[in-house]
């Protein structure tokens, strides 16, 4: 049965389930609510003949970038082959399959084609936004959103999410004034739009407005009482802002108060937050060795082959702690990954392997070699994805260890 939502999108959906239930799940997803997957599973358990629900579940699992999720992702993929699909859903399945094959450009082509016909399709828009981000393609991040923005009703609450994505793309492209205004417009529409708040925080960071950024987050964080682990990334930003302003002790206190507890769940963003902040603090002369030890619980993830950016962060603790066995396994896995086909494999070959070897060299006190390797790939580091603020760590490593060799 075909159902239509308030934005005019058609869904193949069970007759006995209102479309408003899927809208509720979408809003949870866009607001980083911790119960999004629970709600989605409940919907599918009631009736699995929801193609877009299966697609959304597949996206959420794939964005988790965790090999443990592979069987569940395959189950979504297989289930979709058994369902009748409308035109939009067929395009979504094609895009999802390309994504799973690590053919990101083909997936993006499909998502952008969906958006040409269905500009209010937030699943396609969010996926395209994330994939452009994974490739470090800031220009496409904001252009993709800019093309669909005119189709969004001015007062629709979900417009804030579109503005938040637009703001982040603008910020990563260096258009700071427009990015800040757009992000604040999104927050005025919806103070629960974490991605918009995140985008404005990046503006403060890139413009060295450290304490303005701290104040911005300090006002908003108390509002976000029911969010998933993305809120910890905003605490990471708060710590980085303090550190950039010369207050390493407060940054360390934020690490201890806000960034250690989520590490128990082994979600990649929490480990990326922790490892990158610890290395920055270490370069400021703080003794954080015991805190590095707490990341060793996840050392096996240093051999993951999902996203190069993430694997490099899982490698940081073993590198600093000189865990030779894990280092050897990780480098062997990364070398094997770099010989495969696919876009992340290509990034691994061009940038990832050399960066991994550089991290190991610096961790093992071979700083001249490590710095030299980072300099070899410095101009291409954007291809591993992540933001300017996140990738700044690699340039900080170059500058610090060049001066202190």
Q: What is the pLDDT of residue 6?
A: 85
385 and 313 Cβ atoms separated by less than 8 Å? no
> Any idea which of 15-24, 52-61, 65-74, 80-89 has the lowest mean pLDDT?
15-24
Task: Return the closest-CA partner of residue 237 out of 256, 217, 261.
Answer: 217
Q: Write the CA distances from 175 to 149, 193, 198, 207, 263, integer angstroms.
A: 17, 20, 15, 11, 34
Cα–Cα distance measured from residue 370 to residue 315, given in angstroms and rounded to the nearest whole number: 14
16: pLDDT strictly greater than 90:
no
Q: What is the pLDDT of residue 305?
A: 95
pLDDT in tens, 347-357: 999 999 999 99
> Domains of the chain (ranges plus CATH)?
1-135 (1.25.40)
Cα 403 to chain centroid distance, Å, stands at 32
124: pLDDT strictly greater than 70:
yes
Cα–Cα distance measured from residue 20 to residue 158, given in angstroms and rounded to the nearest whole number: 14
Task: Return the closest-CA partner of residue 209 out of 231, 177, 178.
Answer: 177
pLDDT band at 183 (very low <50, low <70, confident <90, very high): very high
Q: What is the pLDDT of residue 375?
A: 98
Task: Return the closest-CA partner of residue 130 out of 108, 157, 106, 102.
Answer: 108
Q: What is the pLDDT of residue 264?
A: 79
With residue 141 as reference, give the H or E element that holds it: helix 138-148
265: pLDDT strictly greater than 80:
no
With residue 10 as reference, give the H or E element that holds it: strand 10-12
pTM over cut 0.85: yes
Total number of residues shown for the chain: 405
Q: What is the pLDDT of residue 31?
A: 94
377 and 359 Cβ atoms separated by less than 8 Å? no
Q: Write the CA distances from 182 to 108, 193, 273, integer angstroms.
A: 24, 12, 26
Q: What is the mean pLDDT of residues 255-259?
A: 95
Q: Write the CA distances from 216 to 31, 189, 266, 318, integer angstroms.
A: 18, 16, 28, 35
Q: What is the mean pLDDT of residues 69-74?
A: 96
Q: What percent of the chain has pLDDT over 70?
A: 100
pLDDT band at 158 (very low <50, low <70, confident <90, very high): very high
Cα–Cα distance measured from residue 133 to residue 140, given in angstroms and rounded to the nearest whole number: 9
| Residue 275 neighbours by CB distance under 10 Å | 24
144: pLDDT strictly greater than 70:
yes
Radius of gyration in angstroms for the set of CA atoms belonging to the chain, rounded to a whole number = 21
pLDDT in tens, 369-391: 999 999 999 999 999 999 999 99
Q: What angle do CA 357, 361, 362 make, to 5 degrees?
A: 120
CA torsion 99→104→108→109, rounded to 10°? -100
How much helix, strand and coil, in percent to the nearest 5, is found in the chain?
75, 0, 25
Cα–Cα distance measured from residue 113 to residue 90, given in angstroms and rounded to the nearest whole number: 12
CA torsion 195→200→206→209, rounded to 10°? -140
Q: What is the pLDDT of residue 331?
A: 98
Q: What is the mean pLDDT of residues 191-206?
A: 97
pLDDT band at 405 (very low <50, low <70, confident <90, very high): low
Q: What is the pLDDT of residue 278?
A: 98
pLDDT in tens, 276-293: 999 999 999 999 989 999
Question: Angle, to 10 degrees, between the axis of helix 36-46 and the axis of helix 51-63?
Answer: 150
| Residue 257 neighbours by CB distance under 10 Å | 11
63: pLDDT strictly greater than 80:
yes
402 and 369 Cβ atoms separated by less than 8 Å? no
Q: What is the mean pLDDT of residues 251-274?
A: 91
Q: What is the pLDDT of residue 48?
A: 87
């Amino acid at each position: 049965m075909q159902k239509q939502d308030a934005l005019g999108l058609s869904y193949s959906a069970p007759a006995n389930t209102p479309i408003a239930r899927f809208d509720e799940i979408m809003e949870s997803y866009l607001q980083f609510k911790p119960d999004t997957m629970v709600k989605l599973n409940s919907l599918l358990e009631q009736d699995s003949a929801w193609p877009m629900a299966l697609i959304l579940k597949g996206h959420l699992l794939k964005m988790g970038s965790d090999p443990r999720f592979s069987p569940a992702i395959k189950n979504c993929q297989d289930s979709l082959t058994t369902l009748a699909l409308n035109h939009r859903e067929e395009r979504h399945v094609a895009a999802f399959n390309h994504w799973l094959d690590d053919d990101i450009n083909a997936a993006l082509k499909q998502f952008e084609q969906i958006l040409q016909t269905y500009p209010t399709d937030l699943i396609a828009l969010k996926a395209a936004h994330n994939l452009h981000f994974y490739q470090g393609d800031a220009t496409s991040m904001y252009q993709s959103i800019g093309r669909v923005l005119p189709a969004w009703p001015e007062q629709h609450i979900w417009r804030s999410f579109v503005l938040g994505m637009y703001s982040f793309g603008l910020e990563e492209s260096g258009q700071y004034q427009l990015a800040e205004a757009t992000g604040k417009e999104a927050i005025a529409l919806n103070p629960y739009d974490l991605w918009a708040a995140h985008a404005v925080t990046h503006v403060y960071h890139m413009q060295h407005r450290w304490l303005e950024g701290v104040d911005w987050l300090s006002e908003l964080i108390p509002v976000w009482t029911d969010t998933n682990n993305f809120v910890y990334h905003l605490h990471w930003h708060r710590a980085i802002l303090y550190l950039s302003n010369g207050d390493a002790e407060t940054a360390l206190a934020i690490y201890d108060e806000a960034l250690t507890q989520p590490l128990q769940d082994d979600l990649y963003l929490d480990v990326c937050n922790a490892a990158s902040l610890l290395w920055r603090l270490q370069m400021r002369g703080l003794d954080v060795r015991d805190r590095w030890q707490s990341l060793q619980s996840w050392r096996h993830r240093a051999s993951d082959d999902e996203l190069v950016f993430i694997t490099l962060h899982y490698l940081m603790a073993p590198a600093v702690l000189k865990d030779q066995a894990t280092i050897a396994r990780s480098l062997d896995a990364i070398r094997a990954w770099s010989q495969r086909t696919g876009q992340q494999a290509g990034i691994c070959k061009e940038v990832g392997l050399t960066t991994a070897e550089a991290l190991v060299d610096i961790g093992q006190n071979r700083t001249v070699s490590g710095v030299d390797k980072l300099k070899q790939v410095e101009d291409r580091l954007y291809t591993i994805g992540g933001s300017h603020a996140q990738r700044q760590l690699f340039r900080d490593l170059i500058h610090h260890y060049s001066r202190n060799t």
